[in-house]
Amino acid sequence: MSLDQLLHTLQDLPLAAAVRGDMPGTEWVFPIIETLHVLALTLVFGSIAMVDLRLLGWSSRGVSGARLIRETLPWTWTAWICAALTGSLLFLSKAVAYGGNFEFRMKFVCMALAAVNMLIFHCGPYRRIGDWDMGRPPAAARLAGAVSMGLWIAIIFLGRWVGFST
Amino acid sequence: MFRPFADWLAATGLSQLLQNELWVVPTSQSIHIICVCMVFTSALMINLRLLGVWSASRTISELTGALLPWMWGGLVVLLLTGTVQTVAEPVREFVAPMFWAKLIMVVIVTVMTAGFAGKVRSNAARWDAAGPRPNGARAFATGSTLLWVAIIVCGRFIGYTSALYT
């Protein structure tokens, strides 16, 4: 099955029609799911930004970096799962249009890069966090914070643009 | 009642300029969302800490000291970007009851937060003590969380409901 066929199959699911508002009584399903997506993403970005700003040394100076990361990570993952579930439902509703949308594709490229950045951070400077926990993070950690912040800002912009370009 | 004013505003040179530059509104909205992330995540972390749901290692006064400056800064940018969006699309905003509900709730939660911040500053030791929190702490935390969620829901629904009133 080609990607195009797959997108059509997804979009033809009854669930997709319900999210799209094509069934009686489902006119408000899309706005409600989108609002839940916004609530979830505020916590994804907000919690990631707190860690990034600590890595950059712009905020929470004097707070243990390891502790901040440990206490913030459950928020990020819980909210990310909610955003991914609601986002998947939104995607189903117009799978063909979103699949071919430039901003939508770029958003996923940025999320993949953010995941790679996170892995590099966790396998690199995070392993030696004991050395810099209370002080200024090393250059590799600051770079990870800056890259993450830039990518997530781009993800928010691209996500907003998808709504204007589909 | 607000419609004539909205129509007048929409016809002004400034509003026309913002309307004709197609990138202005999505850009402003993206910055608006990023600030919502900072403000909402900060508020939720403080509120859940007050309710004892989130057992952060930082005390109340440490947490508010670190997060409130970001909340105030975020609120200023929210006001600026919100103004840009309102001048660019005055009718869309002014006819929607959700817009006015949102504004009223923003004023209430801002006053509540300023009052709370003042109380924590003037008596940090009592707020940081392990014992029961001062009166009203739970009410503030619950009320503030519900107001922020309602503000975000209203904000998203302005775009979906204003067509019903024009």
CB atoms within 10 A of CB B101: 16
A26-50 burial string, b = 16+ CB within 10 Å, else e? eeebbbbbbbbbbbbbbbbbbbbbb
Q: How many domains does chain B have?
A: 1
pLDDT in tens, chain A (166 residues): 799 999 999 999 999 999 999 988 899 999 999 999 999 999 999 999 999 999 998 887 778 889 999 999 999 999 999 999 999 999 999 999 999 999 999 999 999 999 999 999 999 999 989 888 888 899 999 999 999 999 999 999 999 999 998 8
pLDDT value, residue A119: 96
Put simply, the answer to whether A49 touches B41 (Cβ < 8 Å) is: yes
Instruction: Give pLDDT, residue A136.
Output: 86
Q: How far is residue A54's CA from residue B117's CA, in Å, rounded to a whole number?
A: 22
- ipTM metric: 0.92
pLDDT mean over B107-114: 97
Structural domain harbouring A122: 3-165
Structure tokens at A136: 């200024």
Q: Determine the structural domain holding residue B137 and report its residue range.
A: 3-164
Tell me how far apart the alpha carbons of residues B26 and A157 are, in angstroms, rounded to a whole number. 8
Task: Report pLDDT for B57.
Answer: 80
Give me the mean pLDDT over the B113-142 stretch: 87
- Smallest CA–CA distance, residue B136 to chain A, in Å, is 25
What residues in A contact B26, CB-CB < 8 Å? Answer: 160-161, 164
d(CA B151, CA B112): 15
Across the interface, whether the CB atoms of B36 and A42 are under 8 A apart is answered yes
For B45-86, the DSSP string reads HHHHHHHTSS--SS-HHHHHHHHHHHHHHHHHHHHHHHHHHH
What is the tally of structural domains in chain A? Answer: 1
Residue with tokens 């990361």: A69
d(CA B95, CA B2): 7
Of B34, B56, B160, Cβ closest to residue A45 = B34
